DNA sequence: GTGCTGACACAGG
DNA sequence: ACCTGTGCCAGCA
């Protein structure tokens, strides 16, 4: 069963490399791979994301994934991912990620590709 | 081929 | 915080 298109495989691999407590945006993943675009990454995640830590791949504005907000929030609290609580005016809405602190650029992911 | 849709991004208002 | 338009790229009817 082989199965997954190579591009999807690469996207999933990057998702797996994101350390706990950190996140990468769809655009970051695409840029890191040097291929495809944010929408392609989003599509791969929608189709095969269930096999990897999907909650670590997010939108650039830090909004939680529609339909999985609670599940994601649970993971973030568990991993200690930086969140921004909803402001007074937006009370009732769920918190969003603190992208400034949570965003991971992928630095260091390349240096140790020794074990594949 | 044509047009809409999507787990996107960015600039404006 | 909200909504809108534009750019982007691939899949699908």
Residues 64-83 of A with CB under 7 A from strand C: none
Average pLDDT over residues A41-54: 95
- Report the 10 Å Cβ neighbour count for A84: 14
Instruction: Provide the 10 A C-beta neighbour count for residue A52.
Output: 19
pTM: 0.90
A109 CA vs B7 C1’ separation (Å): 24
Query: pLDDT, tens digit, for every residue of A58-108?
Result: 999 999 998 899 999 999 999 999 999 887 877 888 899 999 999 998 777
Structural contact between residues A14 and A106, judged by C-beta atoms closer than 8 angstroms:
yes
Instruction: Say what the pLDDT of residue A88 is.
Output: 80
Which residues, in sequence order, are CB contacts of A106 under 8 Å at separation 6+?
A: A14, A17, A24, A28, A32
Domain chopping of chain A, boundaries: 6-102
Q: How many CB atoms lie within 10 A of CB A4?
A: 15
Residues A52-67 pLDDT 10s: 999 999 999 999 998 8
CATH of A6-102, one of 3.40.640.10, 1.10.10.10, 3.40.50.1950, 3.30.450.20: 1.10.10.10
């Amino acid at each position: 069963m082989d199965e997954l298109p190579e591009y999807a495989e690469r996207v999933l691999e990057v998702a797996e490399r994101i350390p706990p407590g950190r996140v990468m945006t769809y655009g970051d993943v695409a840029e890191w791979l040097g291929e495809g675009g944010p929408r392609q990454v989003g599509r791969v995640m929608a189709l095969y994301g269930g096999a990897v830590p999907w909650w670590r791949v997010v939108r650039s504005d830090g909004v939680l994934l529609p339909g999985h907000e609670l599940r994601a929030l649970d993971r973030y609290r568990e991993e200690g991912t930086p969140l921004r609580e909803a402001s007074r005016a937006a009370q009732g809405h769920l918190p969003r990620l603190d992208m400034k602190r949570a965003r991971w650029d992928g630095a260091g992911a390349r240096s140790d590709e020794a074990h594949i």
